[in-house]
């Protein structure tokens, strides 16, 4: 144990431990999803001229499942479902709606959105039937949120109904009096003429249980519910109408819930095998056994949480280990310090009051929020398929950066003396290209690991095709905010004797609006947006930690900020 008493050895162990925590979940998931490598890409053009991206996973049974994602996601967010269905031998077909994933065009919106989604669903079904050789009666459709709306709309205009539809967190509000939703009002036990399973979460905000129950009442023509958590009805036409409300499940996490996956997979299996009370081979008592919830823990969720923990551990202690290494190499550090002192990007800046410097950030954020709102409103009006959810944290960071730019340039930053002046030449002067190359390799590895995590069932990243323009725009907008965060970290380290403490406080001040916003959302009782806010906080925290590590490697604030913004 004496080996661990030395900080350097302890940090080495923790870095290795963090890396293992990252590699193990990735390896496990790659192995479990190995069969998904056998797939075929199918692209068709819809009536609006959009290229719709699809993937087909062949199966060895005469049944197939089509998957349609919700708003802001794509088919990759359903990898857990795809993997399960594929393991059961089903043919699987995933689709990216227009404006999502690798499909072109704009996100369907407005009064005609349901019809636009439905037409894409029907065209996808045609492609699926052609490539798999399946008939309509051998196909099941799974739609989440917006995707459920598209699936249901498609069944009302399709003369060849599929075997079953699974509506996961459906955004179908049957109580609305909106004329544009009149097709929803026409739903009933025989419209659509197919088996239906509704799955929603007890903590649902977008499709809360009361709304889901209203939809079930309409589709089953039944209002006497004995077991609202899970119940079914067999219509005179022999169609199964079923609803399941899963405990502790939110809208955001329906795509990653193993309980939801297994429940839906078993329902499809039952319908495919005709195992319900209308079949004389099974009794109602036996059917009840299917309604017992799965209580085993979701191993994938634990693996993803392990990976997230590994990312934080590796970044935090990797930075600490590098700091110790640089202190040991005193000669090199001294030479680097001389270069930094001569070519510093902040020779005219100095902190005079650390409390005021950090404490006034909350007031500065008020101005930054105003700038962020103006920026968001202008960007939101651009008809270029903007990823709206990204604005929630890009615009505040951009507003913060512009506020810092103004205050630093006119010598009005509280607790600070001096004016900031850009020195473009210093960005490329005194470059140690070996260190830069090493830093880029480290950044590439971190990005690959974190992107894999985000692209998993927990989070989602849009692929860089037509959205490359937005990636460039958002990167440029975010650079000032991250750049001044790096400058401030450097100033604090030059001023404070308790550098780590004040650096952490400054980082918390940087995250202040996101923390306050998350708490406000939590108190308002809106669970789905609180979860999304926590996701944003987690991502920003990782970005800050990555910036700390990269800055420690090459000591180039602008380059670090550029990579953080990316």
Return the CATH number at 287. Answer: 3.40.50.1820
Judge if 27 and 42 occupy the same domain: no
User: Above 70 in pLDDT, residue 19?
Assistant: yes
Alpha carbon distance 90, 196 (integer Å)? 18
Is 324 inside a domain boundary?
no
Judge if 53 and 20 occupy the same domain: no
Angle made by CA atoms 52, 56, 61, in degrees to the nearest 5: 145
Mean of pLDDT values over 37-65: 91
Mean of pLDDT values over 265-290: 66
Distances (CA, A) of 168 to 101, 151, 271, 391, 463: 20, 11, 17, 27, 24
Judge if 292 and 336 occupy the same domain: no
Alpha carbon distance 161, 486 (integer Å)? 58
Structural domain of residue 349, as residue ranges?
329-565
Give pLDDT, residue 376: 83
Give pLDDT, residue 224: 62
Give pLDDT, residue 408: 86
CB 81 within 8 A of CB 150: no
Last residue of a domain, one of 263, 285, 318: 318
Alpha carbon distance 158, 122 (integer Å)? 8
Judge if 7 and 54 occupy the same domain: no
Judge if 439 and 532 occupy the same domain: yes
Nearest in space to 257 (alpha carbons), one of 291, 208, 301: 301
Is 463 inside a domain boundary?
yes
Mean of pLDDT values over 482-495: 85
Judge if 121 and 257 occupy the same domain: yes
Judge if 427 and 387 occupy the same domain: yes
Judge if 59 and 18 occupy the same domain: no
User: Above 60 in pLDDT, residue 55?
Assistant: yes
Alpha carbon distance 32, 121 (integer Å)? 29
pLDDT confidence bin for 335, thresholds 50/70/90: very low
Residue-wise pLDDT for 536-554, tens only, equals 888 888 888 888 888 888 7
Strand 139-144 and strand 195-201: pairing?
unpaired
Give pLDDT, residue 456: 53
Long-range (24+ apart) CB contacts under 8 A made by 337-342 are 339/430, 340/555
Give pLDDT, residue 150: 94
Percent of the chain with pLDDT over 90: 17
Judge if 139 and 104 occupy the same domain: yes
Mean of pLDDT values over 314-330: 76
Give pLDDT, residue 459: 43
Return mean pLDDT, the chain: 79
Is 132 inside a domain boundary?
yes
Is 142 inside a domain boundary?
yes
User: Above 90 in pLDDT, residue 134?
Assistant: yes
pTM (whole model) above 0.85: no
Last residue of a domain, one of 254, 288, 318: 318
User: Above 60 in pLDDT, residue 511?
Assistant: yes
pLDDT confidence bin for 117, thresholds 50/70/90: very high
Distances (CA, A) of 165 to 144, 271, 363, 380: 11, 11, 52, 34
pLDDT confidence bin for 186, thresholds 50/70/90: confident
Mean of pLDDT values over 193-221: 87
User: Above 80 in pLDDT, residue 178?
Assistant: no
Distances (CA, A) of 151 to 6, 128, 255, 395: 60, 15, 16, 34
Helices 391-409 & 512-524, crossing angle to 10 degrees? 140
Is 429 inside a domain boundary?
yes
User: Above 90 in pLDDT, residue 132?
Assistant: yes
Give pLDDT, residue 318: 85
As given in the structure block, the two tokens for residue 57 are 């996973």
Alpha carbon distance 356, 189 (integer Å)? 66
Least confident of 29-33, 185-189, 286-290, 527-531: 286-290
Mean of pLDDT values over 143-171: 93
User: Above 80 in pLDDT, residue 476?
Assistant: yes
Structurally, how many domains does the chain consist of? 3
Mean of pLDDT values over 133-162: 93
Give pLDDT, residue 310: 87
CB 98 within 8 A of CB 105: yes
Is 323 inside a domain boundary?
no
Is 10 inside a domain boundary?
yes
CB 400 within 8 A of CB 477: no
CB 139 within 8 A of CB 171: no
Judge if 547 and 421 occupy the same domain: yes
Last residue of a domain, one of 261, 287, 318: 318
As given in the structure block, the two tokens for residue 542 are 């990782």
Judge if 449 and 364 occupy the same domain: yes
Count of all residues that appear for the chain in the document: 566
Alpha carbon distance 138, 153 (integer Å)? 19
Judge if 396 and 312 occupy the same domain: no
Mean of pLDDT values over 259-266: 88
Instruction: Identify which has the larger pLDDT, 287 or 243.
Output: 243
């Amino acid at each position: 144990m004496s080996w661990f008493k030395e900080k350097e050895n302890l940090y080495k162990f923790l870095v290795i431990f963090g890396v293992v925590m990252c590699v193990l979940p990735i390896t496990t998931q790659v192995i479990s999803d190995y069969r998904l490598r056998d797939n075929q890409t199918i692209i068709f053009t819809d009536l609006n001229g959009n290229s719709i991206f699809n993937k087909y996973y062949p199966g060895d049974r005469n049944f197939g499942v089509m998957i349609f994602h919700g708003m802001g996601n794509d088919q990759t967010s359903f990898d857990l479902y795809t993997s399960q269905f594929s393991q059961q031998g089903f043919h699987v077909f995933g689709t990216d709606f227009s404006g999502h994933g690798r499909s072109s065009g704009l996100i369907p919106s407005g009064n005609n959105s349901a019809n636009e989604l439905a037409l894409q669903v029907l065209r996808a079904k045609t492609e699926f039937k052609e490539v798999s050789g399946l008939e309509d009666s051998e196909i099941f459709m799974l739609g989440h949120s917006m995707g459920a709306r598209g699936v249901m709309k498609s069944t009302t205009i399709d003369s060849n109904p599929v075997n079953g539809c699974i509506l996961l967190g459906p955004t179908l509000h049957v109580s609305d009096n909106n004329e544009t939703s009149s097709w929803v009002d026409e739903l009933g036990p025989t419209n659509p003429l197919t088996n239906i399973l509704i799955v929603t979460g007890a903590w649902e905000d977008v499709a809360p249980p009361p709304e889901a129950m209203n939809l079930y009442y309409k589709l089953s023509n039944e209002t006497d519910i004995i077991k609202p958590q899970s119940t079914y009805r067999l219509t005179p036409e022999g169609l199964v109408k079923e609803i399941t409300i899963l405990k502790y499940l939110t809208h955001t996490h329906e795509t990653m819930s193993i309980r939801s996956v297994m429940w839906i997979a078993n329902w499809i299996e039952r319908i495919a095998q005709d195992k319900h009370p209308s079949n004389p081979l099974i009794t109602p008592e036996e059917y009840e056994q299917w309604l017992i919830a799965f209580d085993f823990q979701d191993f994938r969720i634990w693996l993803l949480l392990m990976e997230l923990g590994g990312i934080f551990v590796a970044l935090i202690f990797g930075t600490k280990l590098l700091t110790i290494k640089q202190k040991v190499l005193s000669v090199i550090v001294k030479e680097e310090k001389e270069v930094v002192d001569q070519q510093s990007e902040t020779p005219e800046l100095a902190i005079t009051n650390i409390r005021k410097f950090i404490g006034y950030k909350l007031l500065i954020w008020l101005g930054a929020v105003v700038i962020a709102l103006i920026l968001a409103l202008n960007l939101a009006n651009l008809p270029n398929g903007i990823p709206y959810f990204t604005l929630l944290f890009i615009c505040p960071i951009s507003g913060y950066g512009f506020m810092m730019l103004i205050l630093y340039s006119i010598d009005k930053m509280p607790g600070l003396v001096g004016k900031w002046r850009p020195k473009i030449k210093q960005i490329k002067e005194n470059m140690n290209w070996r260190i830069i190359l090493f830093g880029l390799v480290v950044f590439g590895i971190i990005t690959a690991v974190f992107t894999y995590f985000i692209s998993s069932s927990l989070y989602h990243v849009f692929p860089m095709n037509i959205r490359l323009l937005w990636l460039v725009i958002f990167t440029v907008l975010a650079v000032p905010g991250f750049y001044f965060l790096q400058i401030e970290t450097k100033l604090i380290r030059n001023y404070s004797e308790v550098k780590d403490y004040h650096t952490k406080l400054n980082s918390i001040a940087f995250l202040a609006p996101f923390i306050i916003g998350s708490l406000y959302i939590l108190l308002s009782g809106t669970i789905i947006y609180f979860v999304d806010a926590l996701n944003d906080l987690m991502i920003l925290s990782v970005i800050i930690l990555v910036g700390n590590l990269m800055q420690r490697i090459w000591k180039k604030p602008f380059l670090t900020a550029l990579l953080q913004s990316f």
